[in-house]
Amino acid sequence: MTGRASLPAPQHLMADAFLTLNHISKSFAGVQALDDVSLVVKPGEAHCLVGENGSGKSTLIKIIAGVVTPDSGDIVINGRSFQRLYPMDAIREGIQVIYQDFSLFPNLTVAENIALNYQLSRNVRVVRWGQVHQIAQTALDKIGVRLPLDVEVESISVADKQLVAICRALVQNARLIIMDEATTALTEKEIRALFRVIRNVQQEGVAVLFVSHKLNEVLEIADKVMIIRNGRVVVDTDVASLDRSKLTYYMTGRQIEEADYDYRPTNEQPLLEVRHLSSRGNFEDISFALRPGEILGITGLLGSGRTELALSLFGVLPVDSGEILIDGQPAHVRDIQSAIHHGIGYVPEDRLTEGLFLDQSISRNIVIRTIDTLTRPGGLLSISQVNRQVRYWVEQLSIKTHDPELPAKSLSGGNQQRVVLAKWLASKPRILILNGPTVGVDVGSKMELHEIIKNLAREGIGILVISDDIPELLHLCNRILLMRRGRVAGVFDRPEITEAELTARLTEATSMARPAG
């Protein structure tokens, strides 16, 4: 790998570079998203871009892709300088982006989503459907996943959408692959496969620009790391000179040390008890109890049934047999309404497409779940109460915006996630199901979110956390349930299991789930 070699002389560096950004600045309506950022990416090099939510990572990527025009600075690709870079220029120069929001066509099939951009950039005028399928199948085979080709992307799961976005980029013979948090919806197994592919293409001289809030991924894949804070570069260095705590420090400007959840066991009646719950094809014979103040983690790979279980508890997916007890009483959670009636709240997995009205303002998005508690007698909305609630949550979750009346789509990805979380936390459920609560949230804020979740639990709420993030589960939960192929494969009390053990149990599930070879 050329990338690990020591730094060459500056002139060489310029000649060698695939991509050079010089003094890029960009502001949106008064918000300085990027301030004098320079970046050099060489062939075969894996460059990681890290920074807090809203620090400007996605903006920088969109500038490289020709989607956003910088206010100042210049872009040199392959030695060619671009006054104004258009998306097609970037693509023709070999730049492929996996966008944070996937940027797929919901109305087109999986096959066409993968093949369309490829054919477009090759000036194909006549579409041969056999070829479309072939291109798509080749791409899927590359990372070893199986997806139905003729299904509309709209109807597939988040993880599958992300896989489609990845395949679409891999199918092009890219010279630079940019991944803006491309692993958020994936579990160990797919991430391993993706990283294998990345290493392979790197050997062939393809450069990678990688954005992730999962620092272990960053440390694993990077040759070089660039850290930005509030749109400015703070550090741009070899990965060898960094470790987890230094990374965190440079990103946030402070040391972060998270304490585990100090759960004190009680013998109170369980808020929620599940007995032998089954839903054919989804999960089977699941039993557990959730007492007030408990934070129960649920983990497992894609297809382990964890999301389906959550959906059943929220009344979305029907169950075939088994019982759900709430406060010791058998409860019929037939639909979402009865789930809400029983005090259950659910933060969905695919928050960017499921949980937000992107064109509506941030404040409207926050209050939508609690709108009926904010009305004055007569049914009119109390503006002051709305504002108070919005201000409270913007502050609590440090949502980075200078005006909550702006549309939600003006927020960075991580900040959009917080808005969804705010909306559900504001509704004060008694049982809260969080599906990947901190996906796409930066390390610093993650700890703050964990603190908020722990405080909710301390107030006596029962919380279910579905997550792949093992350190997160260990910090947050007092008990962890491991699911595999729809069944409970193990229950661990937190002090009795270590990070290494839990990871091992999960990977064990990987090797079992994957067919031989």
Ligand X SMILES: Nc1ncnc2c1ncn2[C@@H]1O[C@H](COP(=O)(O)OP(=O)(O)OP(=O)(O)O)[C@@H](O)[C@H]1O
Footprint of another protein on this chain (CB under 8 A)? 65, 67, 86-88, 91, 97, 99, 103-108, 112, 116-117, 119-121, 124-128, 154-155, 157, 307, 311, 316-317, 336-337, 340, 348, 353-357, 368-369, 371-372
Contact 503, 322 (CB under 8 A): no
CB nearer ligand X, residue 304 or residue 401: 401
- Of 113, 279, 415, 478, the one binding ligand X (CB under 6 A) is 415
Contact 423, 351 (CB under 8 A): no
Among all residues, whose Cβ is closest to Mg ion?
58
CB nearer Mg ion, residue 184 or residue 412: 412
CB nearer another protein, residue 230 or residue 370: 370
Residue count at the site for ligand X (CB under 6 A)? 20
CB nearer ligand X, residue 41 or residue 464: 41
CB nearer another protein, residue 176 or residue 457: 176
- Contact letters (x/-) for ligand X, 77-106, by CB under 6 A? -----------------------x------
CB nearer another protein, residue 17 or residue 111: 111
CB nearer another protein, residue 25 or residue 353: 353
Minimum CB separation from ligand X for residue 336, in Å? 29
55 binds, among ligand X, another protein, Mg ion, none (CB under 5 to 8 A by kind): ligand X
Minimum CB separation from Mg ion for residue 109, in Å? 27
Check binding of 56 to ligand X (CB under 6 A): yes
Most distant CA pair in the chain, distance: 74
What is d(CA 419, CA 333) in angstroms, rounded to the nearest whole number?
27
Tokens for 336, please give them.
């979402």
CA atoms within 13 A on the CB side of 36: 1
Close Cβ partners of 341 (under 8 Å, ≥ 6 residues apart): none
Quick one: which segment of 51-59, 331-339, 449-457, 503-511 binds ligand X (CB under 6 A)? 51-59
Of 197, 217, 228, 200, whose CA–CA distance to 36 is shortest?
A: 228
First CA to last CA across the chain, in angstroms?
A: 26
- For residue 76, report the phi and psi dihedrals to the nearest 5 degrees: -120, 120
Of 151, 212, 149, whose CA–CA distance to 178 is shortest?
A: 212
Check binding of 30 to ligand X (CB under 6 A): no
Close Cβ partners of 17 (under 8 Å, ≥ 6 residues apart): 40, 41, 42, 76
CB nearer ligand X, residue 221 or residue 251: 251
Check binding of 28 to ligand X (CB under 6 A): yes
270 binds, among Mg ion, another protein, ligand X, none (CB under 5 to 8 A by kind): none
- Of 19, 21, 33, 171, the one binding ligand X (CB under 6 A) is 33
Check binding of 421 to ligand X (CB under 6 A): no
Contacts 24+ apart (CB under 8 A), 15-18: 16/42, 16/43, 17/41, 17/42, 17/76, 18/42, 18/43, 18/77, 18/78, 18/175, 18/176, 18/207
Binders of ligand X among residues 374 to 393 (CB under 6 A) are none
User: What b-and-e string marks burial along 321-344, b requiring 16 or more CB atoms within 10 Å of the CB?
Assistant: ebebbbeeeebebeeeeebbebbb
410 binds, among Mg ion, another protein, ligand X, none (CB under 5 to 8 A by kind): ligand X
What is d(CA 101, CA 164) in angstroms, rounded to the nearest whole number?
12
- Of 231, 305, 355, 413, the one binding Mg ion (CB under 5 A) is 413
105 binds, among Mg ion, ligand X, another protein, none (CB under 5 to 8 A by kind): another protein
Contact 256, 236 (CB under 8 A): no
Contact 286, 277 (CB under 8 A): yes
Residue carrying structure tokens 């019929």? 332
What is d(CA 502, CA 486) in angstroms, rounded to the nearest whole number?
18
Give, for 413, the enclosing helix (H) or strand (E).
helix 413-426
- Of 37, 46, 50, 58, the one binding ligand X (CB under 6 A) is 58
Contact 473, 467 (CB under 8 A): yes
Check binding of 183 to ligand X (CB under 6 A): no
- Contact letters (x/-) for Mg ion, 92-121, by CB under 5 A? --------x---------------------
Minimum CB separation from Mg ion for residue 215, in Å? 16
- The dihedral over CA atoms of 419, 420, 425, 431, expressed in degrees to the nearest 10, equals -170
Give, for 511, the enclosing helix (H) or strand (E).
helix 499-513
Quick one: which segment of 138-146, 330-338, 410-418, 446-454 binds Mg ion (CB under 5 A)? 410-418
For binding to ligand X (CB under 6 A), which residues are involved?
28-29, 31, 33, 51, 53-59, 100, 400, 410-415
For binding to Mg ion (CB under 5 A), which residues are involved?
58, 100, 412-413
